[in-house]
Amino acid sequence: MTLTQVTIVPFYTCLFVLYYLVLSRRVILLRRKYRVPLSNGTVEYLSYIELEREKAGLISYEPKISSRNLDEPKFLELQRTIRTHANFSEYIPITLLLLFFIEINRYLSPQIIHITCLFSLLARLIHAELAFAHGMAVNTWRIIGISITYATLLFAALVNGYNFWVT
């Protein structure tokens, strides 16, 4: 099989990238809205001038915990949005890599690869759009989303592991 014949996982990778950009844009817009250039609003950062002075050894600065009320809905919204983005970044690359190995080595039929990619995409949409929209740390949608994510990741790992030991 040549790389030009591998079309399923690259197609889904494009869909995941588009969704990743949507999640990234949400973080950027909230950072602008709440004027939080770095982190999640819990640390106050140096201005550019203070940073240059610290680099030159003229001042010593330790980031301090913000005096902001971090339980305010705006900071909770920002923190949830950042975590949704980060959670996507933590699980999707390894899942897609494992699925790519499955496709390139023809360990499974194209239909099974499509179904697995769709389940992974569905899991991320459930996790990001439904679970965090409710604003609770634990809810049914979040459990469903992460369960499907774990199942697809485990499935892809087992298929690759099995085929490694068999061949």
In tens, the pLDDT along 38-60 reads: 766 665 554 555 556 666 766 55
Q: Where does the pLDDT of residue 77 fall: very low under 50, low under 70, confident under 90, or very high at 90 and above?
A: confident
Residue 148 within any structural domain of the chain: yes
For every residue of 47-109, which 3-state class applies, written as one string?
Answer: CHHHHHHHHCCCCCCCCEECCCCCCCHHHHHHHHHHHHHHHHHHHHHHHHHHHHHHHHCCCCC
Higher pLDDT, 59 or 162: 162
Cβ-Cβ contacts under 8 Å for 42 (sequence gap 6 or more) = 65, 66, 68, 70, 75
The parent domain of residue 129 ranges over 3-40+69-166
CA distance 66 to 34: 14
Average pLDDT over residues 142-164: 94
Residue 59 within any structural domain of the chain: no
Residue 80 pLDDT > 80, yes or no?
yes
Percent above pLDDT 70 for the chain: 72
Residue 16 pLDDT > 80, yes or no?
yes
Average pLDDT over residues 85-113: 95
Residue 89 within any structural domain of the chain: yes
Cβ-Cβ contacts under 8 Å for 99 (sequence gap 6 or more) = 9, 12, 113, 116, 117, 120, 156
Average pLDDT over residues 77-88: 88
Average pLDDT over residues 108-121: 96
- State how many domains the chain has: 1
CA distance 85 to 66: 23
Rounded to the nearest integer, the mean pLDDT of the chain is 82
Model-level pTM?
0.77
**Per-residue pLDDT at 29:** 92
Q: Residue 44: beta bridge partners?
A: 64
Higher pLDDT, 131 or 29: 29
CA distance 102 to 113: 8
Residue 48 within any structural domain of the chain: no
Residue 49 within any structural domain of the chain: no
Q: Are 26 and 81 in contact (CB under 8 A)?
A: yes
Residue 141 within any structural domain of the chain: yes
Residue 37 pLDDT > 70, yes or no?
yes
Q: Where does the pLDDT of residue 92 fall: very low under 50, low under 70, confident under 90, or very high at 90 and above?
A: very high
Cβ-Cβ contacts under 8 Å for 84 (sequence gap 6 or more) = 23, 26, 127, 128, 132
Highest mean pLDDT among 32-36, 60-64, 136-140 belongs to: 32-36
Residue 153 sits in a domain of what CATH number? 1.20.120.550
Residue 56 within any structural domain of the chain: no
3-state secondary structure of 29: helix
